[in-house]
Amino acid sequence: MTDFTGKTAIITGAAGGIGRATARLLAARGAAVVVADVNADVRDTASLIREAGGQAEAVVTDVATDTGAEAFVRAAVEGFGGLDILHANAGITGGFVPRLDEDTATFLEVLRVNLLGPWIAIRTALPHMRQGGAIVCTASVAGLRAGAGPIAYSASKAGVVNLVQSTAMALTGRGIRVNGVAPGLIETPMTALLYDDARARGREDRIGQLNPARRGGQPQEIAEAVAWLASDAASYVNGQVLAVDGGLSAQHPFTPKWSL
């Protein structure tokens, strides 16, 4: 049910982290993938896939623009003959500290990449998506409620949650599903500063301490969720955002009082 042989997938934000992990997983399961990112390291993602025997094409572009989206969709259609899966994953934090004095330009840039980017990708990809296609957007637990991220980032990811729901409804009868994943704290290039600081202070054991799993997550764990949502195994799942966060969003924030 998670065999993607004969299918084509686009993954944005694939230079590293969740995007790279998803691209490698889908390719390992048979998909031809187009990986796109403004970071030229996305070429390394494509190389890793090809070295493993998979099919991949890299597009270095600003994925949150019309021209960027047209480029990666064209690469999928012309290079691999069609489009079945879109993982709109690219995102930025805008900084980790919640600031009430955030400047307008930074706030707008976070919204542009994190919210407008997925919308542009969806809008551009839809005319080329085959029947039975699947779209998966990367949201965040920070978009579900306050307390898990900076203000601009959290607001943008809340928008992604609603984008998933609204787009799924707008596609009624089209045979294309739209879902999302809401990662918790995942070790990626985006969170490297947090992980590096915790390790430097000897506090690595405190990473993820507020979730029941008592740890941070790995990109592969999010990739598995994306692959499931994009597969026929999730054929009756639509308009949903799946939290993959070790249980963080199942509770209100608190300081654990018990020991294992």
In the chain, how many domains are there? 1
Q: Is residue 254 part of a domain?
A: no
The CATH number given to whatever domain includes residue 30 is: 3.40.50.720
Q: Is residue 260 part of a domain?
A: no
Q: Tell me 204's DSSP state.
A: G
What pTM was computed for the model? 0.91
Contacts of 102 (CB under 8 A, 6+ apart): 94, 95, 150, 151, 152
Catalytic, out of 110, 153, 160, 223: 153
**153 among known catalytic residues:** yes
Q: Is residue 128 part of a domain?
A: yes
Q: What are the strands of the beta sheet with 241-244, ordered from one edge?
A: 55-60, 32-37, 8-12, 83-88, 129-138, 177-183, 241-244
Each residue's pLDDT, cut to its tens digit, for the chain (260 residues) gives 689 999 999 999 999 999 999 999 999 999 999 999 999 999 999 999 999 999 999 999 999 999 999 999 999 999 999 999 999 999 999 877 667 888 999 999 999 999 999 999 999 999 999 999 999 999 999 999 988 889 999 999 999 999 999 999 999 999 999 999 999 988 777 766 766 666 777 777 767 677 887 788 899 999 999 999 999 999 999 999 999 998 888 886 655 554 44
Segments forming the whole domain that contains residue 88: 8-243
